[in-house]
Amino acid sequence: MHVTDEASALFQVRSLVEAGSLTVPRSTIGFTFYGQRDRHGRLRAPNGPLHAIALVPFYALGKAIAVAPGVPDDSRDVVLTFAVVLSSAVFSALAAALFVTLLIRRDVPLQTALIVTLAVSLGTPLFAYSAWLFSEPLATCLLIGAALCAFGGNGPAASARAALAGASIGACVLVRPAHALMIPLFVAAVLVRDGRRAAVPALVLGGTAAIGPTIYLAWNAFQFGNPFDFGYPEIADGGKHINGFTTPLLTGLAGFLISPGKSVFVHAPLVLAAIPALPRLARVDRGLACLAVAAPATYLIFYARYTQWEGGYCVGPRYLIPVLPFLLLSLAPALTDAGTTARRALLGLTVVGVCVQCLELATSFLEDQFASGYYDDRFDYRMTYAPLYSQSALFVHYAGSFIRGEPSSLGAGFDRWFFFLRKAGVSWWPIASAGAAAIGVAAVGGSLVIGSWKTSQRTRIALARRTQKTQ
């Protein structure tokens, strides 16, 4: 873990499992407390409660691994943390699985669906954030799941699918309250697609999704005595007020669009191909096209005004990550009919995106941001911060140290999990076992994707035959 946001999530799940509450311990060695005291004087982080709840199985897994043979006693806390952070990789992978299933349900050819999904899951910050304990992978997973329920086409009746979609969006609100923005957007998208006959499903979706904000407001009232107090502190970072909406709109837009450190075009270059493809998506599915335009635009404008629009110490346009896949849905219909030149362009943008993510995964982003002036003296984000340059230099430094036989310390250098655990003193055989388990899960997942495609094909053929008989 690098920053307080990650540490708070770990502290919450630890407290939930060990003490049955979501409080943060009074002693948070290495991390500055960020949050408020509740009505009983207990420390509370402003993280949504569902993120910590979703981490419980991974915490339990970490406790089991920590006592396994090959794990030294003094490495158990590190191993436990590894297992909790593993949740982000699982949620990112599940988001990719739901994304490809949505494409298959929309009758996108299997090969095209897999290509686009690989591009989206590896060529955007979703890949980078799979390695850190932020809430964005879980939120992305829930929102794509909602889209699959609302626009997947097959399965239960429309109202039932709308209820599932609403439940997923409501759950996402319990991860971060700002995701309540998606409720009216989904309702509008359903109505745009189906018109008057979607009135009941749209009402069901909106009503079910509203349960999430209702629970959150009740949770706030229980903790702080005010339903609209989400636990954010008044001041932070040397006395700065960071939880308002004081950023000039043009400043935030410039940061998200053209700054070298936060530009969506730098960190997710596939957007350059997705925007021109939106009209093609609109001809295929107006509802999804509505989401593809409205969700990124709404989040962009909303967070551009947010005081801490950059997301604190983090990589890229953190707050936009959960809605980027909606925009990138337009790549599937465009790629289906694309020629060789367009396919090569998409491949090139994907490769660039993958390189950007790998570079930011190869070193500690926090080390780079401290050294490169991420914030100025007033804790305002520096628009000139250029991580592709500074992290490249840091990567070269650590690569040279590795070649010279001077491995980097724990938490620095190329610390993917297999190196990280080895540095922590864990034996090779449990690391190899974990790798084998991951490969096995991937194989099962691949077979399920193919099975989903075959089921979709059979359903489409059956519907076509019934239509022919009717005619």
Give the H or E element holding residue 249.
helix 249-257
SS3 at position 37: strand
In whole angstroms, give the CA distance from residue 93 to residue 116.
14
411 part of a folded domain: no
pLDDT category at 417 given cuts 50, 70, 90 is confident
396 part of a folded domain: no
356: its two tokens: 């950007």
Please report the pLDDT score of residue 198 as a whole number: 85
156 part of a folded domain: yes
348: its two tokens: 């090139």
391 part of a folded domain: no
Please report the pLDDT score of residue 86 as a whole number: 93
List pLDDT tens digits, range 156-209: 688 899 999 999 999 999 999 999 999 999 999 999 988 888 899 999 999 999
pLDDT above 90: residue 460: no
Backbone angles phi, psi at 36, to 5 degrees: -140, 170
Give the H or E element holding residue 126.
helix 125-128
Average pLDDT over residues 407-421: 78
pLDDT category at 103 given cuts 50, 70, 90 is very high
Please report the pLDDT score of residue 408 as a whole number: 75
CB atoms within 10 A of CB 44: 22
17: its two tokens: 């499992």
In whole angstroms, give the CA distance from residue 147 to residue 229.
30
% the chain with pLDDT above 90 = 56
Give the chain's mean pLDDT.
89
Which range is most confident: 243-247, 305-309, 450-454? 305-309
pLDDT above 70: residue 388: yes
Please, are residues 150 and 189 in contact by the beta-carbon 8 Å criterion?
yes
Please report the pLDDT score of residue 263 as a whole number: 96
Please report the pLDDT score of residue 2 as a whole number: 84
% the chain with pLDDT above 70 = 97
pLDDT category at 470 given cuts 50, 70, 90 is low
63: nearest Cα among 49, 74, 77, 50: 77
Average pLDDT over residues 108-119: 91
Please report the pLDDT score of residue 155 as a whole number: 58
320 part of a folded domain: yes
Please, are residues 149 and 105 in contact by the beta-carbon 8 Å criterion?
no
pLDDT above 90: residue 372: no
Please report the pLDDT score of residue 466 as a whole number: 72
List pLDDT tens digits, range 258-298: 999 999 999 999 999 999 999 999 999 999 999 999 999 99
Burial of 399 from C-beta contacts in 10 A (0-12 / 13-18 / 19+): middle
Identify the weakest region by mean pLDDT among 171-185, 295-309, 449-463. Answer: 449-463
Q: Which domain holds residue 94?
A: 4-373+432-462
Identify the weakest region by mean pLDDT among 73-87, 132-146, 148-162, 401-415. Answer: 401-415
List pLDDT tens digits, range 6-16: 999 999 999 99
Please report the pLDDT score of residue 341 as a whole number: 85
Q: Which residue do the tokens 């591009």 mark?
A: 119
In whole angstroms, give the CA distance from residue 134 to residue 234.
22
Between residues 437 and 265, the one the model is more confident about: 265
pLDDT above 70: residue 441: yes
pLDDT above 80: residue 468: no
Number of domains in the chain: 1
pLDDT above 70: residue 467: no
471 part of a folded domain: no
456 part of a folded domain: yes
Beta pairing partners, 381: 375
